[in-house]
Amino acid sequence: MAEPLLSIQGLNYRYGNRRAVVDVAFDIGVGEVLGLLGPNGAGKTTTISCIAGLLADWTGSMSFAGNPFQPAKVTGDRRRLGFVPQELAIYPNLTARENLSFFGKLAGVSANELGGAIDRNLDLAGLVDRQSERVLTFSGGMQRRLNLASGLMHAPQLVLLDEPTVGVDPQSRNHLFETLAALKHSGVSLLYTTHYMEEAQRLCDRIAIMHEGQVVAIGTPTELAVSIGQPGANLETVFLHLTGRNLRDE
């Protein structure tokens, strides 16, 4: 594996008495796409929230490019990350351009670079022609693309994506995949949570399967299939083998 960009060791987080994340450990290399796969309530979003700095009271350790990483406490650490939440976290009464400008300014993009960053991300999202229209007039797929672009304005080294394709039509999903592939090729690392096996198989270099707050297996799809003693098994088989067939009520 390439040199770790982000390294997480012994990450734990509790919601009251409930342990949501239990001794989670993994690394993400430069330009690597790591998928976090797991059923509902497995701890994927909590893990990503700890890394994004949304949750502060976790225990364990994180390092970024070899340096201690405290995103909830150190503002500068958050500048290294791009965050694309599950919700459409954009402003419907602003135009696409205004949204990108807003998030670019917050992320610390300088005035000289802001125009270029907006144009680049509008192009990335395929919204150049609609840049001056209010977001509330956009389709769900267009809003998802803008949601992604808004997290990339400051050209972060690591992008955290929390189920970014929920409710997206196949065309927009395909566009998102192409965008993420382009980011990967440009050396950006991605941490990607999803429910969809085919997405994970298509996009991710490695996959960490989470179950009841723990990472129960991590590796390439091939390595995971071997780890359950069924070489050549698809990801869904591996997933069901590791997490069981019970319905998830959380």
Partner 1 sequence: MLAAAMVLARKDIVSFVRDRGALMLSVLVPLALVTVFGWIMAYAFGGSGGMPKVTLHVADVDQTPLSQRFLKRLQQLDMLKVVSLDVKLLPAEVTLAQRAQRLIEDGDAHHVLILPQGFELQLQAGDAPPLTMFRDPGRAMEEQMIQLALVQACMTEFGNQLMLSSMDRILEQQGMEANQIRLIRNWMSNIGTTISTFVEASRDDVPAVDAESSEPLPAAQASTDLQLDESPEVASSDGAGGSDDDSADNDSGISPQMLRDMFSQIVPVETTDVAPPNRSRQVTYQQAQSVAGMSVMMLLFALTSCGSVLLKEREDGTLKRLFAQPIERNSILLGKFLFVFAVGMAQLTILFTYGEWMFQVGLFRDPITLLVLSITWVATGGAFGLFLAAVSRSSKQAEGLASLLILMMAALGGCWFPLQLMNLPVVLEAICKSTMTYWAMTGFQGMLWNQLAWYEPKMLVALGWQWGWLIGLSALSIAFFKRNYCRG
Residue 107 near partner 1 by CB under 8 A: yes
Q: What is the C-alpha separation between 120 and 133, in angstroms, rounded?
A: 17
Distance CA 122, CA 120 (A): 6
Judged by CB under 8 A, which stretch of 25-33, 72-80, 127-135, 208-216 contacts partner 1? 72-80
129 near partner 1, judged by CB under 8 A: no
**Is 62 near partner 1 (CB under 8 A)?**
no
Q: Is 150 in the site for partner 1 (CB under 8 A)?
A: yes
Owner of token pair 């808004």: 150
Nearer to partner 1, 88 or 216 (CB): 88
Are 83 and 52 within 8 A, CB to CB?
yes
CA distances for 218 relative to 36, 147, 221, angstroms: 9, 28, 9
Tell me the CA distances in angstroms from 209 to 76, 214, 215, 221, one per residue in order. 30, 8, 6, 11
From the CB of residue 67, how many other CB atoms can be counted at a distance below 10 Å? 10
Cβ neighbour number for residue 54 with a 10 Å cutoff: 16
Restricted to residues 22-61, the positions that interact with partner 1 (CB under 8 A) are 49, 52-57
Out of 108, 115, 140, 231, point to the residue binding partner 1 (CB under 8 A): 108
170 binding partner 1? (CB under 8 A) = no
Nearer Cβ to partner 1 (35/53):
53
If one asks whether residue 250 binds partner 1 (CB under 8 A), the answer comes out as no
Give the footprint of partner 1 on residues 228-247 (CB under 8 A).
none
Taking CB under 8 A as the binding criterion, the range among 82-90, 131-139, 185-193, 211-219 that sits at the site for partner 1 is 82-90
Q: Do 26 and 8 meet the contact criterion of CB atoms below 8 Å apart? A: yes
Pseudo-torsion of CA 46, 48, 52, 56, nearest 10°?
30
State which of residues 1, 2, 89, 182 lies at the interface with partner 1 (CB under 8 A): 89
Where along the sequence are the contacts to partner 1 (CB under 8 A)?
49, 52-57, 75-79, 81, 83, 85-91, 103, 106-108, 150-151
